[in-house]
Amino acid sequence: MSQIIDLREDQARQFIDAETVFLELLRIRREAAEVRGSMLWREIKGTEYLIRTSARGGQTSLGSKSAQTATIFDSFMARKGMCERRLADLNAAAQVQQRLNKALRVGRVPDLVVRVLNAIDDLGLATHFTTVGTHALYAYESAAGARFMPEAMATQDIDLLFDTRKRIGFVTQMRRLDTSFIGALRKADPTFRVKSDQLQTAINASGFEVDVIRRVAREGDPHPLRLSDHEDDLWAVQIDTGNKILSAQRFSQVVVSVTGRMAVMHTMHPLAFIQIKRQIATRANRDPRKRHKDALQADLVEQLLHSHLPQHLPVAR
pLDDT of amino acid 1: 52
Phi/psi region, residue 45 (left: phi>0; alpha: psi -120 to 50; beta: rest), is left
User: Can you tell me the distance from the alpha carbon of 63 to that of 48, in angstroms, rounded to the nearest whole number?
Assistant: 9
Sorted by where each begins, the domain ranges of the chain are 1-106, 107-312
Q: Are 227 and 236 in contact (CB under 8 A)?
A: yes
| DSSP type of residue 190 | T
CATH code reported for the domain at 107-312: 3.30.460
pLDDT of amino acid 317: 65
The torsion of the CA quartet 179, 183, 188, 189, rounded to 10 degrees, works out to -160
DSSP string for 100-157: HHHHHT---B-HHHHHHHHHHHHTT-GGGEEEEGGGHHHHHHHHHTEEE-GGGT--SE
pLDDT of amino acid 219: 79
Q: Are 258 and 109 in contact (CB under 8 A)?
A: yes
User: Can you tell me the distance from the alpha carbon of 76 to that of 82, in angstroms, rounded to the nearest whole number?
Assistant: 10
pLDDT of amino acid 133: 92
Enumerate residue ranges in the chain where pLDDT < 70: 1, 316-317
Its pTM surpasses 0.75:
yes
What is the tally of helices (H) and strands (E) in the chain? 9, 14
Residue 285, Cβ density class (10 Å: 0-12 exposed, 13-18 middle, ≥19 buried): exposed
**117 backbone dihedrals φ, ψ, rounded to 5°:** -60, -40
User: Can you tell me the distance from the alpha carbon of 127 to that of 118, in angstroms, rounded to the nearest whole number?
Assistant: 12
Q: List, for residues 113-153, the tens digit of each pLDDT value.
A: 999 999 999 999 999 999 999 999 999 999 999 999 988 88
